[in-house]
Amino acid sequence: MKANMVKPNTKNLIWTIWLLLSPLGLWVTYRMHPPQIQGQEWEILGFLLFMVIVASMPMIINGNSVFFLQWASLSVFLIFGLFIETVLVQIALMAVLYQAKIDKKSLFRIPMNSTMFILVSISSGNIYFALGGELKVDLFSSVQAFSLGIVYVLSYLIINTFIIFFIDRVVYGRRTSFFTKDLFWEMLTTAISYPVGIALYVIYLDIGPLALILIGVPFISLSLILKLYHSSQTVNDYLKKITEIGHQLSQNLYVSETIEFFSKKLYELFKVDFIFIHQVNDRSELEMIARVEGQEELPVFENTLMSSEGICGRVLETKKALVFHSKQEWMEVNKGYMPEDIQSVLCMPLIKNSKVIGVLLLGKKQKKAFANMKLMVLDLLCAQFAIALENAKYFEKTKENSEKCGLTKLYNYRYFEKYLTARFTELQNKEIKNLALIMLDIDHFKSINDIYGHQAGNEILTGFADRIQQLIGDHGLFARYGGEEFVILLTNTSIAEAYDLAEFIRKMIASKPFLIKQNMNDENQQTKVSITASLGLASAPDDADEPMALIRHADRALYVGAKRAGRNRVASYIK
């Protein structure tokens, strides 16, 4: 359960208990077991330094961070007494919590863990003394001394486990069993660390503080080696994942699915709270093409950023990543919207062929969330995404060029034929009720080319296409059939409704002249040209039961029913 799901009243209660119990527990411990440390101040400082270092350098075992404080605390307890052990553990605990990068909503974990360790230290220490245990005793001098040492270790482990179980049930509301994976790791930690602690204690009795170097340095070195090994293994795992992601990215053909897949993998790998992706447009500005917050795709913002403007603009200018560990660091730099409660921000350039084609912006609500981020790994992922994104754009552009008319930007006959076939499949499967096809032809178009020139004819075609496309919008497919012929395909539209639309289009074309600029008769003067259009209609399934039959019948209605009847009219197919 997340920290922000813990009730505010529970958090306040934890702080209250800590404020009452912590000073009281330390005072009682000091009174009951006053430390005899005169002349040992430097030795205590040495143990404290060691404990802080150990707390700051956890071993990574099976992917879990294990803090081996017990080996040092055992020695401190047997040498300097319960009060010093309690104080030193509390100080070292702060280093552990610092490693955890606690955010504001999780600050209650500081008093909660502090209280837990105070209770564990005081309880296990008093059990040891109650059974006759002594300080600076030779643990191997008698069975009783050794047994009491074992009792202290077991008391520490059991009390710690019971308190963790209590916290899970009461604070976090988890219905966990007593014997959990955490208990296993705690027992493993104890089994590994306490023999080291006993060895440190025994050697200390013989040679004094030098024991810290003989035992502590190898132990810390081992922790460092294991941590480095884990880091290398983590990088290798990331590289394997990135190789797989890169392969999958290359299989995405469209920009939208490429961005969606990339965003999903970013969240899986780095658990970020938001993802913004910008691309460099034709004006060398950054425009947002993707916005994901809390794994939810949201509408992008239309405002753009110039080079050096805001966080993303700086990355565009320098071609280098920027990392901010807290809100105070990026507030003055940022420009525009930033999600609420964001602390850590990471901004990476998307580079292809040494050119920045976009910028990636990531954010998390914790401070220093990207402090240990493997920037090399993310950089490789961004490079693969940049290639995949450009390839997807190229594919879409190529596909668009193959399916659209270069002059009017309408879909061409090739696309229309595939689209019509797909709609007929839906019609046969009764997914749609009917189809209506309107075929349009500009009357006497050849004479326009002869009088005003082919450039003027092209202007008429583009103006004609724009005017009708604005009228049709998303209500149907409007395509260029060839030459001066166009088609409109409507779904779930009756022949009567289609006829009314065709008649409206005819009147709209005839009533408003077209303005041409490329007039071969007078290059400097714009000319108004009035045109008319003839339209033919056919429907399915009433008039046709397959795609080509629908086209033939609409074409017949156009030329027989409209053109031959005098042009500038609408005609429906008659069987």
Q: In terms of domains, do 93 and 190 share one?
A: yes
Q: In terms of domains, do 367 and 479 share one?
A: no
Q: In terms of domains, do 219 and 340 share one?
A: no
Strands of the sheet with 485-491, listed across from one edge: 477-482, 485-491, 435-442, 533-540, 570-572
The pLDDT of residue 230 is 62
Residue 102 lies in a domain: yes
The pLDDT of residue 431 is 92
The pLDDT of residue 480 is 93
Q: Tell me which of 172, 205, 224 is where a domain ends.
A: 224
Residue 405 lies in a domain: no
The pLDDT of residue 137 is 87
Q: In terms of domains, do 443 and 308 share one?
A: no
Q: In terms of domains, do 266 and 185 share one?
A: no
140-179 tens-digit pLDDT: 888 888 888 888 888 888 888 888 888 888 887 777 676 6
Confidence check: pLDDT of 465 > 90: yes
Question: Helix, strand or coil for residue 506?
Answer: helix
As a whole number, the mean pLDDT across the chain is: 85
Residue 94: left if φ>0, alpha if ψ -120 to 50, beta else—which one? alpha
Confidence check: pLDDT of 104 > 60: yes
The pLDDT of residue 229 is 67
Helix axes 454-472, 495-511, angle to 10 degrees: 140
The pLDDT of residue 225 is 73
Residue 480 lies in a domain: yes
Residue 229 lies in a domain: no
- Per the structure, the complete domain to which residue 9 belongs is given by 3-224
Closest CA to 201 of 247, 158, 154, 139: 139
Q: In terms of domains, do 62 and 210 share one?
A: yes
CATH of the domain at 506: 3.30.70.270
Q: What amino acid is encoded at 573 in this protein?
A: Y
CATH of the domain at 302: 3.30.450.40
Q: Tell me which of 397, 426, 447 is where a domain ends.
A: 397
The pLDDT of residue 103 is 66
Place of tokens 């469209």: 254
The pLDDT of residue 520 is 62
Residue 408 lies in a domain: no
Residue 313 lies in a domain: yes
- Cα dist. 441→139, 461, 532, 558 in Å? 105, 11, 9, 8
User: What's the Rg (C-alpha) of the chain?
Assistant: 38
Helix (H) or strand (E) holding 344: strand 344-352
The pLDDT of residue 521 is 60
Which pTM does this prediction carry?
0.56
332-371 tens-digit pLDDT: 889 888 988 899 999 999 998 889 999 999 999 888 888 7
Q: In terms of domains, do 478 and 506 share one?
A: yes
Closest CA to 498 of 470, 524, 536: 536
Q: In terms of domains, do 325 and 258 share one?
A: yes
Taking the C-alpha atoms of residue 495 and residue 43, their distance in angstroms, rounded to an integer, is 98
The pLDDT of residue 2 is 47
What is the domain count for the chain?
3
Q: In terms of domains, do 391 and 528 share one?
A: no
Confidence check: pLDDT of 101 > 70: no
176-233 tens-digit pLDDT: 676 666 667 667 666 667 777 788 888 888 888 888 788 777 777 766 776 666 667 6
Q: In terms of domains, do 391 and 417 share one?
A: no
Residue 322 lies in a domain: yes
Confidence check: pLDDT of 329 > 80: yes
Question: Helix, strand or coil for residue 152?
Answer: helix
Mean pLDDT of the 486-506 span: 94
Q: Tell me which of 397, 430, 461 is where a domain ends.
A: 397
The pLDDT of residue 450 is 86
The pLDDT of residue 378 is 84
The pLDDT of residue 149 is 85
Q: In terms of domains, do 435 and 350 share one?
A: no
Question: Helix, strand or coil for residue 19?
Answer: helix
Question: Helix, strand or coil for residue 305?
Answer: strand
The pLDDT of residue 1 is 41
Confidence check: pLDDT of 327 > 70: yes
Q: In terms of domains, do 368 and 423 share one?
A: no
Task: Identify which has the larger pLDDT, 59 or 432.
Answer: 432
Instruction: List the beta strands (DSSP E) in 353-457.
Output: 355-364, 435-442
Confidence check: pLDDT of 256 > 60: yes
Task: Identify which has the larger pLDDT, 561 or 523.
Answer: 561
Residue 243 lies in a domain: no
CATH of the domain at 216: 1.10.1760
Task: Identify which has the larger pLDDT, 101 or 60.
Answer: 101
